[in-house]
Structure 1
Amino acid sequence: MLSFIASLTSLLAATAAIALPVGEARAEVAPRAGPSGYVVYPPGGTTFDSYGGAESSGGESYIHVQYEGVYQNSPYTATIGVDIFLEDPTGVQPDQYLAYNFGTPTIGLIDGYFSPPAGACGDYRLVFEEHQNLGNYGDIIKFRAAAPSITLLCLPIQ
Protein backbone atom coordinates (compact mmCIF):
# COMPACT_ATOMS: atom_id res chain seq x y z
CA MET A 1 0.00 0.00 0.00
CA LEU A 2 2.85 2.32 0.87
CA SER A 3 4.50 1.74 -2.51
CA PHE A 4 1.18 2.48 -4.25
CA ILE A 5 0.92 5.86 -2.47
CA ALA A 6 4.56 6.65 -3.30
CA SER A 7 3.99 5.78 -6.97
CA LEU A 8 0.82 7.88 -7.09
CA THR A 9 2.61 10.84 -5.47
CA SER A 10 5.51 10.75 -7.95
CA LEU A 11 3.06 10.42 -10.87
CA LEU A 12 1.15 13.51 -9.68
CA ALA A 13 4.40 15.46 -9.18
CA ALA A 14 5.59 14.57 -12.70
CA THR A 15 2.22 15.57 -14.20
CA ALA A 16 2.29 18.93 -12.39
CA ALA A 17 5.85 19.63 -13.57
CA ILE A 18 4.87 18.97 -17.19
CA ALA A 19 1.74 21.14 -16.91
CA LEU A 20 3.55 24.17 -15.50
CA PRO A 21 4.40 26.88 -18.05
CA VAL A 22 8.00 27.20 -19.12
CA GLY A 23 9.45 30.69 -19.43
CA GLU A 24 7.80 33.99 -18.72
CA ALA A 25 4.03 34.32 -19.13
CA ARG A 26 2.75 37.75 -20.22
CA ALA A 27 -0.74 39.13 -20.01
CA GLU A 28 -2.18 40.22 -23.33
CA VAL A 29 -3.38 43.83 -23.37
CA ALA A 30 -6.51 44.46 -25.37
CA PRO A 31 -6.86 47.85 -27.07
CA ARG A 32 -10.41 48.08 -25.72
CA ALA A 33 -11.53 45.66 -23.10
CA GLY A 34 -15.06 46.97 -22.76
CA PRO A 35 -17.49 49.74 -23.62
CA SER A 36 -16.32 53.32 -23.84
CA GLY A 37 -17.67 56.67 -24.89
CA TYR A 38 -16.66 58.54 -28.03
CA VAL A 39 -15.67 62.02 -29.17
CA VAL A 40 -18.54 63.85 -30.87
CA TYR A 41 -16.48 67.02 -31.44
CA PRO A 42 -13.81 67.83 -32.55
CA PRO A 43 -13.10 65.35 -35.30
CA GLY A 44 -9.43 64.67 -36.02
CA GLY A 45 -7.80 67.38 -38.12
CA THR A 46 -9.76 70.30 -36.62
CA THR A 47 -7.98 73.67 -36.37
CA PHE A 48 -8.80 76.12 -33.58
CA ASP A 49 -7.84 79.79 -33.99
CA SER A 50 -6.14 81.34 -30.98
CA TYR A 51 -6.07 85.15 -31.13
CA GLY A 52 -3.37 86.76 -29.02
CA GLY A 53 -2.63 83.73 -26.87
CA ALA A 54 -4.62 82.52 -23.89
CA GLU A 55 -7.53 84.53 -22.51
CA SER A 56 -5.56 85.20 -19.33
CA SER A 57 -3.17 87.34 -21.40
CA GLY A 58 -5.95 89.27 -23.16
CA GLY A 59 -6.40 86.84 -26.03
CA GLU A 60 -9.56 85.23 -27.29
CA SER A 61 -9.35 81.48 -27.66
CA TYR A 62 -11.31 78.37 -26.94
CA ILE A 63 -11.35 74.67 -27.67
CA HIS A 64 -14.84 73.20 -27.92
CA VAL A 65 -15.22 69.54 -26.91
CA GLN A 66 -18.15 67.14 -26.85
CA TYR A 67 -17.87 63.60 -25.52
CA GLU A 68 -20.69 61.06 -25.37
CA GLY A 69 -20.23 58.78 -22.39
CA VAL A 70 -21.45 55.22 -22.03
CA TYR A 71 -24.31 54.03 -19.84
CA GLN A 72 -25.53 50.47 -19.74
CA ASN A 73 -27.37 48.36 -17.20
CA SER A 74 -26.09 44.84 -17.82
CA PRO A 75 -23.41 44.84 -16.64
CA TYR A 76 -23.77 48.27 -15.06
CA THR A 77 -21.20 50.66 -16.53
CA ALA A 78 -21.35 54.46 -16.63
CA THR A 79 -19.00 57.24 -17.69
CA ILE A 80 -18.61 59.61 -14.77
CA GLY A 81 -16.13 62.05 -16.30
CA VAL A 82 -13.13 62.60 -18.54
CA ASP A 83 -9.69 64.13 -18.12
CA ILE A 84 -8.91 66.27 -21.17
CA PHE A 85 -5.40 67.33 -22.06
CA LEU A 86 -3.17 68.41 -24.93
CA GLU A 87 -0.40 65.94 -25.75
CA ASP A 88 2.57 66.97 -27.87
CA PRO A 89 2.93 64.22 -30.52
CA THR A 90 6.72 64.75 -30.56
CA GLY A 91 6.94 64.21 -26.81
CA VAL A 92 9.03 67.37 -26.33
CA GLN A 93 6.48 69.37 -24.29
CA PRO A 94 4.76 68.05 -21.17
CA ASP A 95 1.04 67.30 -21.24
CA GLN A 96 -1.13 70.39 -20.73
CA TYR A 97 -4.37 69.63 -18.90
CA LEU A 98 -7.59 71.44 -19.76
CA ALA A 99 -9.81 69.59 -17.25
CA TYR A 100 -9.74 66.82 -14.65
CA ASN A 101 -12.75 64.50 -14.26
CA PHE A 102 -14.94 66.83 -16.31
CA GLY A 103 -18.48 65.52 -16.59
CA THR A 104 -22.16 66.11 -16.04
CA PRO A 105 -24.28 65.34 -12.97
CA THR A 106 -26.61 63.34 -15.22
CA ILE A 107 -25.98 60.76 -17.90
CA GLY A 108 -25.49 62.33 -21.29
CA LEU A 109 -23.31 64.49 -23.46
CA ILE A 110 -20.25 66.05 -21.82
CA ASP A 111 -19.90 69.48 -23.46
CA GLY A 112 -17.47 72.29 -22.70
CA TYR A 113 -15.29 75.15 -23.88
CA PHE A 114 -11.70 75.47 -22.69
CA SER A 115 -8.96 78.06 -23.07
CA PRO A 116 -5.71 76.64 -24.39
CA PRO A 117 -2.69 77.20 -22.15
CA ALA A 118 -0.59 80.30 -22.88
CA GLY A 119 1.89 79.64 -25.67
CA ALA A 120 0.18 76.47 -26.88
CA CYS A 121 0.49 76.69 -30.66
CA GLY A 122 0.88 73.95 -33.23
CA ASP A 123 -0.18 70.32 -33.53
CA TYR A 124 -1.45 68.32 -30.57
CA ARG A 125 -3.44 65.25 -29.68
CA LEU A 126 -6.54 66.17 -27.68
CA VAL A 127 -6.57 63.24 -25.24
CA PHE A 128 -9.72 62.04 -23.48
CA GLU A 129 -9.14 59.74 -20.49
CA GLU A 130 -12.48 58.30 -19.45
CA HIS A 131 -13.46 57.51 -15.86
CA GLN A 132 -16.06 54.76 -15.50
CA ASN A 133 -18.03 53.45 -12.56
CA LEU A 134 -18.33 49.68 -12.75
CA GLY A 135 -21.36 49.88 -10.42
CA ASN A 136 -21.58 46.30 -9.23
CA TYR A 137 -18.45 46.63 -7.12
CA GLY A 138 -18.10 50.41 -6.93
CA ASP A 139 -14.83 50.24 -8.83
CA ILE A 140 -13.71 53.29 -10.78
CA ILE A 141 -11.49 52.63 -13.78
CA LYS A 142 -9.65 55.15 -15.94
CA PHE A 143 -8.42 54.60 -19.48
CA ARG A 144 -7.44 56.49 -22.62
CA ALA A 145 -10.57 56.53 -24.77
CA ALA A 146 -9.63 58.84 -27.67
CA ALA A 147 -6.99 61.27 -28.93
CA PRO A 148 -7.97 63.17 -32.09
CA SER A 149 -5.29 65.34 -33.70
CA ILE A 150 -5.93 69.09 -33.54
CA THR A 151 -4.04 72.24 -34.48
CA LEU A 152 -3.91 75.44 -32.43
CA LEU A 153 -3.29 78.27 -34.88
CA CYS A 154 -1.91 81.29 -33.00
CA LEU A 155 -2.84 84.61 -34.60
CA PRO A 156 -2.30 88.24 -33.49
CA ILE A 157 -5.27 90.26 -32.22
CA GLN A 158 -6.37 92.66 -34.96
Structure 2
Amino acid sequence: MLSLCSLIIALVTASVSVALPHEARTVELSERQGPSGYVVYPPGGTSFDIIGGGGPNGGVTYLNIQYQGVNLQDPYVQTVGIDIYLHDPTGQQADSYLTYEFASDPSGTLIEGYFVPALCGDFELVFIEHQNMGNFGDIIKFKAAAPSITIVCSPEQR
Protein backbone atom coordinates (compact mmCIF):
# COMPACT_ATOMS: atom_id res chain seq x y z
CA MET A 1 0.00 0.00 0.00
CA LEU A 2 1.32 3.44 -0.86
CA SER A 3 2.00 5.89 1.94
CA LEU A 4 0.15 9.21 1.84
CA CYS A 5 3.25 10.99 0.50
CA SER A 6 3.76 8.37 -2.22
CA LEU A 7 0.09 8.56 -3.15
CA ILE A 8 0.25 12.35 -3.49
CA ILE A 9 3.40 12.09 -5.62
CA ALA A 10 1.73 9.41 -7.74
CA LEU A 11 -1.37 11.52 -8.32
CA VAL A 12 0.61 14.66 -9.17
CA THR A 13 2.92 12.73 -11.49
CA ALA A 14 -0.03 10.98 -13.12
CA SER A 15 -1.79 14.30 -13.64
CA VAL A 16 1.31 15.84 -15.16
CA SER A 17 2.00 12.83 -17.38
CA VAL A 18 -1.57 12.84 -18.70
CA ALA A 19 -1.34 16.58 -19.40
CA LEU A 20 1.86 16.19 -21.44
CA PRO A 21 1.59 16.03 -25.20
CA HIS A 22 1.73 12.34 -26.06
CA GLU A 23 2.99 12.63 -29.62
CA ALA A 24 6.58 11.90 -30.52
CA ARG A 25 9.08 14.63 -29.78
CA THR A 26 12.20 14.96 -31.88
CA VAL A 27 15.30 14.86 -29.70
CA GLU A 28 18.83 14.90 -31.01
CA LEU A 29 20.58 12.02 -29.28
CA SER A 30 24.31 11.58 -28.72
CA GLU A 31 26.22 8.33 -28.64
CA ARG A 32 26.74 7.01 -25.14
CA GLN A 33 30.14 8.39 -24.07
CA GLY A 34 30.77 6.75 -20.73
CA PRO A 35 28.98 5.40 -17.70
CA SER A 36 25.22 5.57 -17.62
CA GLY A 37 22.38 4.78 -15.27
CA TYR A 38 20.20 1.71 -15.40
CA VAL A 39 16.58 0.68 -14.99
CA VAL A 40 15.87 -0.66 -11.50
CA TYR A 41 12.17 -1.26 -12.20
CA PRO A 42 10.44 -2.55 -14.28
CA PRO A 43 12.57 -5.37 -15.62
CA GLY A 44 11.97 -6.47 -19.19
CA GLY A 45 8.93 -8.71 -19.58
CA THR A 46 6.86 -6.97 -16.89
CA SER A 47 3.11 -6.82 -17.49
CA PHE A 48 0.93 -4.06 -16.02
CA ASP A 49 -2.83 -4.52 -15.70
CA ILE A 50 -4.64 -1.19 -16.00
CA ILE A 51 -8.20 -1.54 -14.69
CA GLY A 52 -10.78 0.56 -16.52
CA GLY A 53 -8.60 1.34 -19.55
CA GLY A 54 -5.65 3.62 -20.13
CA GLY A 55 -5.56 7.39 -20.03
CA PRO A 56 -7.11 10.01 -17.77
CA ASN A 57 -10.56 8.38 -17.54
CA GLY A 58 -9.38 4.95 -16.44
CA GLY A 59 -6.56 3.21 -14.77
CA VAL A 60 -6.27 2.44 -11.11
CA THR A 61 -2.85 0.87 -11.54
CA TYR A 62 0.24 2.98 -12.10
CA LEU A 63 3.44 2.20 -13.90
CA ASN A 64 6.10 2.48 -11.21
CA ILE A 65 9.38 3.54 -12.79
CA GLN A 66 12.76 3.48 -11.01
CA TYR A 67 15.98 4.55 -12.72
CA GLN A 68 19.37 4.69 -11.00
CA GLY A 69 21.44 7.57 -12.34
CA VAL A 70 25.19 8.13 -12.00
CA ASN A 71 27.11 10.71 -9.99
CA LEU A 72 30.88 10.39 -10.43
CA GLN A 73 33.59 12.89 -9.54
CA ASP A 74 36.58 11.66 -11.61
CA PRO A 75 35.72 12.10 -14.40
CA TYR A 76 32.77 14.30 -13.49
CA VAL A 77 29.60 12.66 -14.84
CA GLN A 78 26.10 13.15 -13.44
CA THR A 79 22.63 12.05 -14.51
CA VAL A 80 20.51 15.20 -14.39
CA GLY A 81 17.24 13.77 -15.71
CA ILE A 82 15.47 11.33 -18.02
CA ASP A 83 12.75 11.33 -20.65
CA ILE A 84 10.54 8.23 -20.67
CA TYR A 85 8.26 7.17 -23.50
CA LEU A 86 6.37 4.14 -24.76
CA HIS A 87 7.49 2.92 -28.19
CA ASP A 88 5.37 0.42 -30.14
CA PRO A 89 7.90 -1.75 -32.01
CA THR A 90 5.24 -2.62 -34.63
CA GLY A 91 4.82 1.06 -35.48
CA GLN A 92 1.02 0.84 -35.23
CA GLN A 93 0.84 3.35 -32.35
CA ALA A 94 2.76 6.61 -32.14
CA ASP A 95 5.36 7.06 -29.41
CA SER A 96 3.74 8.28 -26.21
CA TYR A 97 5.83 10.29 -23.73
CA LEU A 98 5.23 9.69 -20.04
CA THR A 99 7.59 12.46 -18.90
CA TYR A 100 10.27 14.89 -20.03
CA GLU A 101 13.35 15.91 -18.01
CA PHE A 102 12.24 13.91 -14.96
CA ALA A 103 14.84 14.06 -12.16
CA SER A 104 15.57 12.85 -8.65
CA ASP A 105 15.67 15.08 -5.62
CA PRO A 106 18.99 16.98 -5.31
CA SER A 107 20.38 14.60 -2.68
CA GLY A 108 20.04 11.38 -4.67
CA THR A 109 20.44 9.65 -7.99
CA LEU A 110 17.42 7.31 -7.84
CA ILE A 111 14.70 8.70 -10.09
CA GLU A 112 11.27 7.29 -9.27
CA GLY A 113 7.77 8.10 -10.43
CA TYR A 114 4.29 6.72 -11.03
CA PHE A 115 2.59 7.15 -14.40
CA VAL A 116 -0.79 6.44 -15.96
CA PRO A 117 -0.24 5.35 -19.56
CA ALA A 118 -2.61 6.43 -22.31
CA LEU A 119 -2.01 3.28 -24.38
CA CYS A 120 -2.47 -0.48 -24.14
CA GLY A 121 -0.34 -3.17 -25.79
CA ASP A 122 3.27 -4.33 -26.08
CA PHE A 123 5.90 -1.59 -25.85
CA GLU A 124 9.52 -0.74 -25.34
CA LEU A 125 9.77 1.55 -22.30
CA VAL A 126 12.46 3.90 -23.62
CA PHE A 127 14.71 5.84 -21.23
CA ILE A 128 16.61 8.84 -22.62
CA GLU A 129 19.25 9.86 -20.09
CA HIS A 130 20.36 13.49 -19.75
CA GLN A 131 23.91 13.62 -18.48
CA ASN A 132 26.20 16.46 -17.42
CA MET A 133 29.61 15.60 -18.87
CA GLY A 134 31.76 18.11 -17.01
CA ASN A 135 31.80 21.20 -14.90
CA PHE A 136 30.90 23.37 -17.88
CA GLY A 137 27.28 22.27 -18.15
CA ASP A 138 27.74 20.14 -21.28
CA ILE A 139 24.52 18.10 -21.32
CA ILE A 140 24.22 15.11 -23.63
CA LYS A 141 21.15 12.94 -24.19
CA PHE A 142 21.28 9.29 -25.19
CA LYS A 143 19.08 6.21 -25.22
CA ALA A 144 20.09 4.37 -22.05
CA ALA A 145 17.58 1.49 -21.94
CA ALA A 146 14.39 0.12 -23.47
CA PRO A 147 12.95 -2.86 -21.58
CA SER A 148 9.94 -4.58 -23.16
CA ILE A 149 6.71 -4.27 -21.18
CA THR A 150 3.05 -5.11 -21.73
CA ILE A 151 0.17 -2.88 -20.69
CA VAL A 152 -3.10 -4.82 -20.44
CA CYS A 153 -6.21 -2.65 -20.23
CA SER A 154 -8.98 -4.57 -18.50
CA PRO A 155 -12.59 -3.42 -18.18
CA GLU A 156 -13.58 -2.11 -14.78
CA GLN A 157 -15.41 -4.69 -12.65
CA ARG A 158 -18.49 -3.40 -10.84
> Which of the five TM-score ranges fits, normalised by the shorter chain?
0.7 to 0.9
C-alpha distance in structure 2 between counterparts of 1:48 and 1:154, whole Å = 8
The reply on whether 1:112 has 2:139 as its aligned counterpart is no
Counterpart contact for 2:130–2:142, Cα < 8 Å: yes
Deviations 1:73-95 (A, max 9, x none): 01111001100000001122211
Consecutive unaligned residues of structure 1, counting only runs of 5 or more, are 1-29
3-state secondary structure, aligned to 1:84: strand
Normalised to the residue count of structure 1, the TM-score between the two structures is 0.75
C-alpha distance in structure 2 between counterparts of 1:31 and 1:139, whole Å = 14
3-state secondary structure, aligned to 1:57: coil
Alignment partner, residue 138 of structure 1: 137
The reply on whether 1:98 has 2:78 as its aligned counterpart is no
Alignment partner, residue 152 of structure 2: 153
Shift of residue 55, structure 1, vs aligned partner: 5.3
RMSD: 1.6
State the AA in 2 paired with 1:99.
Answer: T
Shift of residue 101, structure 1, vs aligned partner: 0.6
Counterpart contact for 2:32–2:142, Cα < 8 Å: no
Alignment partner, residue 42 of structure 2: 42
Counterpart contact for 2:59–2:116, Cα < 8 Å: no
State the AA in 1 paired with 2:101.
Answer: N
Larger radius of gyration: 1
Regions of 4+ moved over 2 Å = 30-33
Q: Which moved more, 1:54-63 or 1:65-74?
A: 54-63
